[in-house]
Structure 1
Amino acid sequence: MSPGKQKQIDQFEKAIEAVLSPGHFISHNASWSFVDDVRDVADDIENIIRKEPERAERLYQIFIAACHEKADEIDDSSGNFGMLVEELFRGWINARQAANHDPEEIVIELLSWMEDDPYGFCHDLDRVAAKVLDRKGLDAFVRQIRFKFEASLIRDDEDKLSFEYARRRWGRVLKTLLAAQRNVDAYIALCEQTGLEAGDCMDIAKIYKSRRCHEDALSWVERGLKIARADSRTSYHEYELGELKRTLLAGMGRREDALQSAWVEFESQPSIFAYKELMRYVPAKEKTVWRQKAMAASDKGDLSCLIELWLDNKEYDRLVSRLRRTSDNELECLSHYWAEPVARKLQRSHPDI
């Protein structure tokens, strides 16, 4: 390596050390600008991947190790620093692949990070890797994770809890990778071992949708909705599955069915999000009628979910009427996130509110 390149590498390493400022604690308020500065250095390293992948890989390795050392010296309650470290892992993978490293070696290194993760930086590393690994890398990752999953099925009654944890953990990771591969048969077979969840139905439906198999996708969406509605812990999946259902229906030429689905959801839980989803499927000439219909139906909803909807649609009289009927205890339970914009909007027209 030429002296010029060696000097250049030293400059990057110095930049990493300088920006991380080892030995100095970063408060929550200071963490935002701190992370921005760290990201600037990371971006500079990313810019050399194409021409100098080996050099970039080495710098990412140093950067990731230094971030682990910095973890005890920052208030990362915002999670921004952790997300930045995820970006470094992504860059490391890209650099290793650009340098034509053995895919097996890449995934073994990833696994070593995942299994020794004291700060939680690698909690979603499988999802990060699934997006950037090439086909050979993804195949290698699946092989490694499948081995770990199958090993977790060999139960040891003396250590039952750790085996159950390993089974759930590696099963989840394997599903992530199989979804990235769009290997629907392997995914469904895995669900027979782990049990089928609403999120699995979502992943399987998306794979079928990507293949333009809309009927199959819709069938899995319906299965997912049935599971989600039976378990309050998966309500977020119910919302996502509902969105996907309507997208599929519209794509199959069943736009009226999509509209009816959106209306049922809005009636049951009126909110700004459900309203926007509803209006996606309303014909242009019927927007006014459906808006009036939705506003009338929204009265029975939860106030905290209606404030943004009514403010956005300038339904001030409806909002004031509801506030006058609301008890002081209920009003006190409103988050400042909602109470403050209401107060600003109504302070002149309704100062008594």
Structure 2
Amino acid sequence: MAKSSGRSFSRRASGRRGSVTVIEDHVSRSYTRNAKIAFWVVSVVAGLLAATVLADKWHPIVALLLGGVLGVAVALPIAAVIAIWPVLRVIVWWLPEILIATDCVLGFVVLAQHTTLAVRLVVVVVLAVPFAFPQVRRHVMKVAWCLVSRHRLRTCFAEFIIGNNRASLPFVLWARPTLVGESVWLWLRPGLAMSDLEGRLEQIAAACWADKVTVERASQSNSAYVRMDISRRDALTGTVVSPLTEEISGADDALIQRATLVLDTPADGLDLDDVTEAFVLDAQKNTVKNGRADNGKKPGPNREPVTVPAAHGVDDISDYID
């Protein structure tokens, strides 16, 4: 008999030809065993409590029988949920997609029952017009990538990150888009740690069709609560517009242009048009004359430096030289 599971959809070599196993046998047996244990524990506890309460107004034997019936009535739904939890888990995983598809189908059916063909065409065109704008398409794609990443992460967890024999995968809480990709919050089940994810980041990135993946703790007090950041593009390649430029008034434009310095250095050195060859030769001659005038000695290392006057139109930078 074909069974269902959220882990794999691979065909088994054994068994009836053409059957597809969705839940593996050991997983099904584990949940069935837990369901039986939960049924007996809950039925006995709930039955005794109910019999104790009913014994005040009924005969003890009647109260015990009624308590047993009430205990079984309470235990059956709990055991059933535990037994079919692998199937419910798949439904929870695909719940956003199921709700979106259901809303679209039901909405179109209701629209078709109460309107004509012309009105339906107009409604479809009006709903499709926003997708002609790139901004709308980008936002829709960001949300779509969040849904895709949730399923790709579960595929990774089922393939190489499983904590116990019941295939308890990390629980994907929610995901939201970011400037470079998506952020996904996870809850690690018993048997898993963040180090198990850190050793598989490259494989997770490849499975999510992303550039890189990073993981970090989302809580300082709970190591089971982690956040995984999926990067699909490099934010540094884009143009970043600073809002600080809008705070500068137009009256300061002249001051900003005056304070702006642009250096254009050729490969063979600086080319200063204001410093001519004649100015350099005159400066060298004045240096030699000043050295000879001081008792005919050239300036040594312990001598005071000679100040060369700046040429016309060139700022004196001697004050900035230590």
Q: Greater helix percent: which structure?
A: 1
TM-score band, normalised by shorter chain: under 0.3
TM-score normalized by structure 2?
0.22
Higher relative contact order (CA closer than 8 Å, sequence separation 6+): 2
Structure showing greater Rg? 2
